[in-house]
Chains A and B, each alone.
Chain A
């Protein structure tokens, strides 16, 4: 019996040896700032190393879901925060967090370099780190013959029948941005009317960006059947062919701007160090790193974009957005109306 059980026992002993319980704890006395972020947060590791060498502060990122999920988690834990600083609360959800007093007041000296353009509230609790535009993307080759749409209104034209795929605003953040865009363009009176036209013209609604872009869109590697998709202004920079020309294009007059903010959390263990992390995010190096790492545009002025971006994904000039407070007050109702209209 023993001979038979022994291999089993030793196998488990072996497996236990590679358990996670052996993992790291920071040495005592080390200055650690936990940076709560959304899932898309990314930064070049060498910048984090450099920051640690300069300031002695280790940044420990804590990914916490989508922008909405992140905001909800912060509100839920405001009495016992899960970190010291935050990055990734966006303009759609910022007012909820501001109202709940999640952030401490902090005026970053770096905010004067461009972030101030997106300021939300006078005590400066949130600082803009980047801006990302949600725009219609098209498959250039597929639309060569019939011509590309210019405005959102063009999508109701029968010649674009069955060509558009969008994301559900209830489950997807670009989907929500697109819905807000239609409200910004057509107004509280007419947006439902416009969606009725889209529906009649064969719009396809899917639950997330992954399906819309990688499966239904004809311009991505998935080679789907629809040449028009709701994605980001930066997406074409990832679709440059071997000959150097972009296969897809973001339509500059169909964009909705989302701004992503950073701030110090109320109840941070060391607010001073947390403030330095916010400065770091707004500083020149991280700002130059932002496009390549997170597919968004820096909030700072005068930062050079990567070459692929200047070619395929310049920052749209005329993007729209709704005031944060208005979005916060109406989001749920709009999404509910949209669900009734489009699912019904």
Chain B
């Protein structure tokens, strides 16, 4: 036996071993993403009529508007998110934990609710509120992704630059920014994909005037049953997304390099840094403004303030609007989000490790896998959902109605985030540390456990927390696949919003508040779990 084992070990060249490990994410993506999407698009293409849609000028207006608003929202989210990332990663200031929780809250709010909140400020909708709403959702992505790397970047280079006479700005632009570039690139591509395919906010704020490729795919699939038209637009969306990913990937790669990563203790800001902290607080205040508005609405009634909406969460709404109580829905949300996070962590961490491993062996395969992992963020939830309808009955036990389908679909959205948060950190780990460990006789597993894991631990937890929160708030795929006897909170909120009656509306806003509290608590709990810093190196 030992002999066979040794033989097997020799046969498994590192490249082959990596490729085998890559099977897990590939099979997951293949079954739950590529197969349904290809099936539904092929059905539309098969009916013909794809070319006329591509030839129409208004198709390209849609594309231009979609890309334009997404680009604007991405820039805005970056500008607003970087000071927050600095605050979270670098500063020892009171209340940072609360800021970390508060920043995540917008991310889970149902888009229709945020759409309504923004419409209260801009009653006629338009481009500005669409861009603001999309940025509002995504500041957390920037803060988390960039903050994850920033917390580990060695301060000494920056301090050295300052000691040599560089101004704060100069030290930031020539030392800090380049080392953060991979994480900024990661965040930008995720945010761009989220904004390019955001649905609810565009529908509510764009009204009948502003449409994106995503809303048009939804209309054609769901309302008009124009599958060829939807297929044509899906193909356009697909090509655009791949182009964005390839460009983003190339830009990222140019700047990626090993960094000296340490578990850096946060310190008290000095001088001009207070300005950045103040900017971060301003951003948080701006993010919380619509949130406070929602809480106020949950308490306001015709006859003054009341907790009736919150009390109603224990029940099923006015005249039994819901199949389960609001609290049951909250429990369902926690359960599905847990499953989705576990799946996404397994698939995402495997992918990230594989991507780092493959990169060292320099293969084109790594780039392709990286791009493929991101695609689910850029493809319409409706396309995936309708694809499930025509494919998943082929899986054992008619998988179309399985309770597992919702967490799996959510994991599809969460996995790319896990990869994007963990990968920049793993890649920044200095290869020499690994080589040193290996020279000292450590097995590859031991190297990973002793070198990579401690350095990446913080970002792994950040990814887990972030993924959990994303799954909690996910609405597109969930609403499509959820079983009525097990709705999640966002689904329940949408249903309450679609009924007349003051109590239903109050209860919907109270359910939003509950979702926000659950989110904040989840983030704070994960904060507690964070591996204590210092002392390792």
Residues of A within 8 A of B (CB): 1, 4-5, 7-8, 11-12, 15-16, 18-21, 23, 34, 37, 39-42, 44-45, 60-63, 65-66, 68-69, 71-73, 75-77, 80, 82, 96, 168, 170-171, 205-211, 213-216, 220-222, 225, 231-232, 235, 238-239, 241-242, 292-293, 295, 331-332, 335, 339, 342-343
B116 interfacial contact with A, CB 8 Å? yes
The interface bits of chain B over 3-32 (1 if a CB of A lies within 8 angstroms of the residue's CB, else 0) are 000000000000000000000000000000
- Tell whether, in the assembled complex, residue B208 and residue A339 are in contact, meaning their CB atoms are under 8 Å apart: yes
| A209 surroundings in chain B (CB, below 8 A) | 498
Q: Which residue of B is nearest A204, CB measured?
A: B124
| A96 surroundings in chain B (CB, below 8 A) | 225
Residues of chain B from 469 to 499 with CB closer than 8 A to chain A in the complex: 480, 482-486, 495, 497-499
> What separation, in Å, do the CA atoms of A180 and B73 have in the docked complex?
37
Q: Which residue of A is nearest B525, CB measured?
A: A11
> What separation, in Å, do the CA atoms of A182 and B328 have in the docked complex?
43
Which residue of the partner chain, among A15, A60, A76, contacts B390 with CB atoms under 8 Å? A76
Residues of chain B from 435 to 478 with CB closer than 8 A to chain A in the complex: 454, 461
Q: Which residue of B is nearest A206, CB measured?
A: B207
- Tell whether, in the assembled complex, residue A76 and residue B389 are in contact, meaning their CB atoms are under 8 Å apart: yes
- Could you list 4 further interchain pairs (A-B, Cβ under 8 angstroms) beyond the known A20-B332, A63-B483? A170-B223, A207-B208, A210-B112, A242-B303
Which residue of the partner chain, among A42, A71, A225, A235, contacts B320 with CB atoms under 8 Å? A42
Write the nearest CB–CB distance from A174 to chain B, whole angstroms.
11
Which residue of the partner chain, among B203, B225, B331, B342, contacts A171 with CB atoms under 8 Å? B203
> How many B residues touch A, CB cutoff 8 Å?
69
Which residue of the partner chain, among A20, A40, A216, contacts B403 with CB atoms under 8 Å? A20
- Tell whether, in the assembled complex, residue A65 and residue B484 are in contact, meaning their CB atoms are under 8 Å apart: no
> What separation, in Å, do the CA atoms of A4 and B533 have in the docked complex?
10
B304 interfacial contact with A, CB 8 Å? no
- Tell whether, in the assembled complex, residue B320 and residue A44 are in contact, meaning their CB atoms are under 8 Å apart: yes
Q: Given A19-B335, A19-B339, do A65 and B222 touch, yes or no (CB 8 Å)? A: yes
- Tell whether, in the assembled complex, residue A34 and residue B116 are in contact, meaning their CB atoms are under 8 Å apart: no
Q: Which residue of B is nearest A339, CB measured?
A: B208
B502 interfacial contact with A, CB 8 Å? yes
> What separation, in Å, do the CA atoms of A342 and B207 have in the docked complex?
11
> What separation, in Å, do the CA atoms of A42 and B320 have in the docked complex?
8
B41 interfacial contact with A, CB 8 Å? no
Which residue of the partner chain, among A63, A205, A331, contacts B484 with CB atoms under 8 Å? A63
| A210 surroundings in chain B (CB, below 8 A) | 112, 116, 497-498
> What separation, in Å, do the CA atoms of A177 and B398 have in the docked complex?
35
- Tell whether, in the assembled complex, residue A72 and residue B222 are in contact, meaning their CB atoms are under 8 Å apart: yes
| A21 surroundings in chain B (CB, below 8 A) | 339, 403-404
- Tell whether, in the assembled complex, residue B208 and residue A168 are in contact, meaning their CB atoms are under 8 Å apart: yes
> What separation, in Å, do the CA atoms of A8 and B461 have in the docked complex?
9
Q: Which residue of A is nearest B125, CB measured?
A: A206
- Tell whether, in the assembled complex, residue A293 and residue B203 are in contact, meaning their CB atoms are under 8 Å apart: no
- Tell whether, in the assembled complex, residue B386 and residue A76 are in contact, meaning their CB atoms are under 8 Å apart: yes
> What separation, in Å, do the CA atoms of A21 and B119 have in the docked complex?
39
Most A CB within 10 A of own CB, among B116, B301, B486, B501: B501
B505 interfacial contact with A, CB 8 Å? yes
The interface bits of chain B over 331-342 (1 if a CB of A lies within 8 angstroms of the residue's CB, else 0) are 110111011011
| A69 surroundings in chain B (CB, below 8 A) | 222-223
- Tell whether, in the assembled complex, residue A335 and residue B224 are in contact, meaning their CB atoms are under 8 Å apart: yes
| B335 surroundings in chain A (CB, below 8 A) | 18-20
Write the nearest CB–CB distance from B393 to chain A, whole angstroms.
5
> What separation, in Å, do the CA atoms of A15 and B343 have in the docked complex?
13
| B222 surroundings in chain A (CB, below 8 A) | 65-66, 68-69, 72
- Tell whether, in the assembled complex, residue A332 and residue B529 are in contact, meaning their CB atoms are under 8 Å apart: no
Residues of B within 8 A of A (CB): 112, 115-116, 119-120, 123, 203-204, 206-209, 219, 221-226, 301-303, 318-321, 323, 331-332, 334-336, 338-339, 341-342, 386, 389-390, 393, 398, 400-401, 403-404, 406-407, 454, 461, 480, 482-486, 495, 497-502, 504-506, 525, 529, 531-532
Q: Which residue of A is nearest B460, CB measured?
A: A8
Which residue of the partner chain, among B112, B207, B339, B401, contacts A168 with CB atoms under 8 Å? B207
| B454 surroundings in chain A (CB, below 8 A) | 1
Ordered by A's residue number, 7 sampled pairs between the chains whose C-beta atoms are within 8 Å are: A20-B404, A23-B486, A34-B401, A76-B390, A238-B504, A331-B224, A342-B208
> What separation, in Å, do the CA atoms of A214 and B120 have in the docked complex?
11
Write the nearest CB–CB distance from B345 to chain A, whole angstroms.
9
- Tell whether, in the assembled complex, residue B389 and residue A82 are in contact, meaning their CB atoms are under 8 Å apart: yes
Write the nearest CB–CB distance from A188 to chain B, whole angstroms.
20
Q: Which residue of B is nearest A331, CB measured?
A: B224
Which residue of the partner chain, among B320, B483, B502, B532, contacts A4 with CB atoms under 8 Å? B532
| B203 surroundings in chain A (CB, below 8 A) | 171, 207-208
Q: Which 3 A-B pairs have the closest CB atoms?
A: A238-B501, A221-B502, A238-B500
> What separation, in Å, do the CA atoms of A72 and B483 have in the docked complex?
18
- Tell whether, in the assembled complex, residue A16 and residue B224 are in contact, meaning their CB atoms are under 8 Å apart: no
Most A CB within 10 A of own CB, among B208, B221, B480: B208
> What separation, in Å, do the CA atoms of A214 and B115 have in the docked complex?
13
- Tell whether, in the assembled complex, residue A72 and residue B207 are in contact, meaning their CB atoms are under 8 Å apart: no
> What separation, in Å, do the CA atoms of A40 and B331 have in the docked complex?
22
- Tell whether, in the assembled complex, residue A170 and residue B338 are in contact, meaning their CB atoms are under 8 Å apart: no
- Tell whether, in the assembled complex, residue A80 and residue B338 are in contact, meaning their CB atoms are under 8 Å apart: no
> What separation, in Å, do the CA atoms of A206 and B323 have in the docked complex?
28
- Tell whether, in the assembled complex, residue A221 and residue B505 are in contact, meaning their CB atoms are under 8 Å apart: yes
Write the nearest CB–CB distance from B511 to chain A, whole angstroms.
14
> What separation, in Å, do the CA atoms of A66 and B223 have in the docked complex?
9
> What separation, in Å, do the CA atoms of A235 and B274 have in the docked complex?
54
| B484 surroundings in chain A (CB, below 8 A) | 37, 41, 61-63
| A335 surroundings in chain B (CB, below 8 A) | 224
Write the nearest CB–CB distance from A205 to chain B, whole angstroms.
5
- Tell whether, in the assembled complex, residue B500 and residue A235 are in contact, meaning their CB atoms are under 8 Å apart: yes
| A220 surroundings in chain B (CB, below 8 A) | 500, 502, 505
| A214 surroundings in chain B (CB, below 8 A) | 116, 497, 500, 505
| B226 surroundings in chain A (CB, below 8 A) | 332
Which residue of the partner chain, among A45, A208, A239, A331, contacts B500 with CB atoms under 8 Å? A239
- Tell whether, in the assembled complex, residue A205 and residue B389 are in contact, meaning their CB atoms are under 8 Å apart: no
Q: Given A34-B401, A206-B207, A207-B204, do A221 and B531 touch, yes or no (CB 8 Å)? A: no
> What separation, in Å, do the CA atoms of A293 and B203 have in the docked complex?
28
